[in-house]
Structure 1
Amino acid sequence: MTRPKILVVGGGFAGVECLHRLERALRPAEAELTLVTPTDYQLYLPLLPHVAAGVLTPQSVAVSLRRRLRRTRIVPGGANGVDTAARSVEVHTTAGTTVHLPYDHLVLAAGSTTRTFDIPGLAEHALGMKTLAQAAYLRDHVISQLDLAAVATDEAERAARMRFVVVGGGYAGVETAACLQRLTAAATARFPRLDPGLLEWHLVDLAPKLLPELGDRLGAKAMETLRRRGVRFSLNTSVRAVTPESVTLTDGRVLPTRTLVWTAGVAAGPLVGTLDGPTVRGRLRTTAELTVPGSPGVFAVGDAAAVPDLAVGGDAITPPTAQHAQRQGKAVARNLVARLRGAPLRPYHHRDLGLVVDLGGTDAVSKPLGVELSGVPAQLVARGYHVMALPTLTARARVLTNWALNATTGDDFVRTGFQEGRPATLQDFERVGARPAGPDAGRPGSAPDTPRPDPA
């Protein structure tokens, strides 16, 4: 008898955790395990702002898949679409070829992409913070703006190059602005011709307050901390237009700048749109057992899935966080083992352990198990959480060593230049693109609209 084929799409928290658990729970003869992912590492996304700021090296947050997965076949590429009738996934490999991988059981853990809107100039000029390459590119870009400002003879150009705009008042936006503000503030001391007073960081968000998930007090504390460091805030405000040299806000202000970092939320990847299933704000609706209704053999987890949040109740779905993705990976592995062995599936149930926001240095706000903390105690909790969440001892050792080196020796503000000469748009970095893989693929009108989340 042939072994059942378990195919996992996506090498993030959910997908890798699922396969790691399956390798431990199943004998080699019980199932054939395959992973489709464009990279050979699992990215620890919450620490990307530290990579952009030079506090951590890129290798510190890129965990080798082959260190964690010993029996899984890894197919380097991205999934274009799912044919649920044929039980096949169309994959475009990194070599440029297209293959069709059959499955008996499919786990969609394809993650998310940066959420964008139809804002003139946004797709062409905004920088993101979703991939390792984006973090490395952003660091080089920010340092290059200081280099260019130092030799600029026009005062308006110098001021524009020293003004940085970040859109998004959630975790990614706040931590990116906080970490890079510390980087640029320290770097200006190495540029005698630069006036530190010209350095400006603007944080823009459509919401009326910062970090609403943390509550009013901690959100206000984070704003107070960043405002003390010179960060300016524009709340109840969004972006109307972007050009290579300016950002126009919805309140009419025009900010001359060469840098716009867009972190205004995430949307499920376009692969979701190739399945004929119900969605919630662009995410594929699942049962509490993580199965996709109407698609036999298909499970969905992580940012691409709208999983009922049983801990909250009602119509709530789990938020797209690393904490839920990792635990859903464990839960879907358990249910796959149960299905193979004829046991009943169990619903996913998890209550958040807490939230942490690292503002760099000794600044942080955290809410572990509902306890509100700020300053050094919050920073200890935040960094302790990240260390324990890293999946290998090697990754933990690298991160701790990097933190210690940065705290004692500082940064040399070096541009690597690795990303020079390549397109820097969000789509180029995040490999956006998918198409249906069924019998009608390629026919006019066959591609479903890519689901878009509700802007609210």
Structure 2
Amino acid sequence: MGRKRVVIAGLGDTGVLTAIRLAHQADVVGVSVKPGLVSGQELGARLARPDDWARDYWIGFDRFRGLDRVRTVHGTLTGMDLAGRTVEVARANGVLSRESYDALVIATGVSNGFWRRPTLQSTGEIGAELRAAHERLAASESVVVVGGGAAAVSAAANVARAWPDKRVALYFPGPRALPGHHRRAWARVRRRLADAGVALHPGHRAVVPAGYDEITSGPVTFTTGQPAVPADAVLWAIGAVRPNTDWLPAELLDAHGFVRVTADLRVPGHRGVFAIGDVAATDPLRSSARNRADGLLARNILAEFASRPLREYRPPQTRWGSVLGAQPDGLEVFAPTGHAFRFPAWSVRHIVQPWIVRRGIYRGVRG
């Protein structure tokens, strides 16, 4: 019996890792709207220090040694034939093609602001988008960040540290930001924000305008009764995620448009179809995107090929990991208990990125 073919629909953070895991055991085809990994992580660094961010989070597919055996297709997924076991792709060169599969991994993620969109882009267009957002903030004297999640908190902290003379304020609807994290994590991050000069405004629920997926201008108004706030630049990091599932049959989706999965990451009722990452309705936090579920998924796909039992994904109850990203004084990573672990700055550059991330997680990155 020949090697099985696995199609990975979406080569973001989780799709790339899943492809790397399977590359030696199956014929893997990855479909992506980008010509490389353009991570949705670390929004703050992306805005404040785009060159540093690009070094670690924008990596061409040809640089991943683990993808050498993977055929990548640069195009937009436009449809799926469940009975025929194919997906339809509108390629970047305008050609419409079909990719057949023995197993399909749906990893197309979500749209969330200007930094996470399923638009077909070239390398030049990605670079121009990075520069435009950075330059817009650099030219603004006052910046308002709206939102209470990790992306909003990271953006406010990193912008304030990159430009100490700017007026940076964070507005969020609840009594505290980071509601998905342990309270200990917010207490520590709140001190970091204060040290960076970020003004915190809890209890403010903003009126969301049209075009909130771009950097807008003030004033920002609130449904909670506070006065409007002027700002040269307004960053909307409000967690209004939209699953990138327009190309999928409705029968695969839940009421909110996310892909329904069982505990072993299979799409119920469709043998050989799996989902992972932010697009997969695993749990309220859709945590398979951030908990290295790629290893479990790869094992389950191979187990299904061999008619062996599959393992279940067990999501954590709270968010964990980095919030602010790497800073000049190092990197803080929060455990699910809210306790922080610090990596000194030298270790991030000389150990964490080259050895743990590039060699350990990604199995080698050139250049």
State the TM-score, normalized to the length of structure 2. 0.80
State how far apart, in whole Å, the 2-side matches of 1:370 and 1:241 are. 33
Equivalent in 232, 237, 241 of residue 199 of structure 2? 232
State how far apart, in whole Å, the 1-side matches of 2:68 and 2:330 are. 39
State how far apart, in whole Å, the 2-side matches of 1:9 and 1:111 are. 10
Kept in 1, the 8 Å contact 2:181–2:319? The answer is: no
Residues 368 and 257 of structure 1: is their aligned pair in 2 closer, same or farther, counting only changes over 3 Å? same
Q: Give the partner amino acid of 2:304.
A: R
Q: Give the partner amino acid of 2:154.
A: E
2:56 corresponds to: 60
Kept in 1, the 8 Å contact 2:47–2:130? The answer is: yes
State how far apart, in whole Å, the 2-side matches of 1:183 and 1:223 are. 18
State how far apart, in whole Å, the 2-side matches of 1:252 and 1:354 are. 32
Kept in 2, the 8 Å contact 1:277–1:294? The answer is: no
Residues 46 and 381 of structure 1: is their aligned pair in 2 closer, same or farther, counting only changes over 3 Å? farther
Q: CA deviation at 1:321?
A: 6.3
Residues 223 and 379 of structure 1: is their aligned pair in 2 closer, same or farther, counting only changes over 3 Å? farther
Equivalent in 284, 308, 311 of residue 259 of structure 2? 284
State how far apart, in whole Å, the 2-side matches of 1:181 and 1:350 are. 33
1:21 corresponds to: 21
1:347 corresponds to: 312
Q: Give the partner amino acid of 1:358.
A: L
Kept in 2, the 8 Å contact 1:61–1:395? The answer is: no
Asked if 1:169 corresponds to 2:169, the answer is: no
Alignment map for 1:7-406 (pairs within 5 Å): 7-24=7-24, 26=25, 31-54=26-49, 56=52, 58-66=54-62, 67=64, 68-114=66-112, 128-130=114-116, 134-143=129-138, 145=139, 161-185=140-164, 196=165, 199-242=166-209, 244-250=217-223, 251-265=225-239, 266-271=241-246, 274-279=249-254, 281-307=256-282, 316-317=283-284, 319-320=286-287, 322-324=289-291, 327-349=292-314, 351=316, 354-358=320-324, 360-362=327-329, 366-368=333-335, 370=337, 372-373=339-340, 377=342, 383=348, 387=353, 390-392=357-359
Q: CA deviation at 1:214?
A: 3.1
Q: CA deviation at 1:397?
A: 11
Could you report, residue by residue, the CA deviation over 1:209-268 in whole angstroms, capped at 9, with x for unpaired residues? 111233223313322331343212232322215474532232342222231212212332
State how far apart, in whole Å, the 2-side matches of 1:395 and 1:278 are. 30
Q: CA deviation at 1:90?
A: 1.6
Higher relative contact order, chain-length normalized (CA < 8 Å, sep 6+): 1
Q: Could you say what secondary structure the match of 1:110 adopts? A: coil
Could you report, residue by residue, the CA deviation over 1:343-391 in whole angstroms, capped at 9, with x for unpaired residues? 22222236589422226443875433636238xx476699589636633
Residues 363 and 6 of structure 1: is their aligned pair in 2 closer, same or farther, counting only changes over 3 Å? closer
Could you report, residue by residue, the CA deviation over 1:264-298 in whole angstroms, capped at 9, with x for unpaired residues? 12332134753412426442121111110122321
2:120 corresponds to: none
Q: Could you say what secondary structure the match of 1:214 adopts? A: coil
Q: Could you say what secondary structure the match of 1:14 adopts? A: helix
Decide which structure has greater helix share: 1
Q: Which moved more, 1:237-246 or 1:61-70?
A: 237-246
Q: Could you say what secondary structure the match of 2:221 adopts? A: strand
Kept in 2, the 8 Å contact 1:5–1:103? The answer is: yes
Unpaired stretches in structure 1, ≥5 consecutive residues? 115-126, 146-160, 186-195, 308-315, 399-456
Q: Which moved more, 1:330-339 or 1:250-259?
A: 250-259
Could you report, residue by residue, the CA deviation over 1:36-76 in whole angstroms, capped at 9, with x for unpaired residues? 01223223433342232226152332233232211111110
State how far apart, in whole Å, the 2-side matches of 1:391 and 1:267 are. 30
Q: Could you say what secondary structure the match of 2:358 adopts? A: coil
| Superposed structure 1 runs of 4+ greater than 6 Å apart | 378-382, 393-398
Residues 103 and 218 of structure 1: is their aligned pair in 2 closer, same or farther, counting only changes over 3 Å? closer
State how far apart, in whole Å, the 2-side matches of 1:397 and 1:300 are. 25
State how far apart, in whole Å, the 1-side matches of 2:135 and 2:288 are. 27
Residues 128 and 249 of structure 1: is their aligned pair in 2 closer, same or farther, counting only changes over 3 Å? farther
State how far apart, in whole Å, the 1-side matches of 2:269 and 2:364 are. 45
State how far apart, in whole Å, the 1-side matches of 2:163 and 2:147 are. 20
Q: Could you say what secondary structure the match of 1:56 adopts? A: helix
Over aligned residue pairs, what C-alpha RMSD do you find? 3.4
Q: Could you say what secondary structure the match of 1:334 adopts? A: helix
Q: Give the partner amino acid of 1:16.
A: V
1:122 corresponds to: none
Unpaired stretches in structure 2, ≥5 consecutive residues? 118-125, 210-215
Kept in 1, the 8 Å contact 2:145–2:170? The answer is: yes
Residues 353 and 236 of structure 1: is their aligned pair in 2 closer, same or farther, counting only changes over 3 Å? closer
Residues 61 and 128 of structure 1: is their aligned pair in 2 closer, same or farther, counting only changes over 3 Å? same
Q: In percent, how many aligned pairs have the same letter?
A: 26
State how far apart, in whole Å, the 1-side matches of 2:364 and 2:259 are. 37
Kept in 2, the 8 Å contact 1:269–1:304? The answer is: yes
Q: Which moved more, 1:217-226 or 1:76-85?
A: 217-226
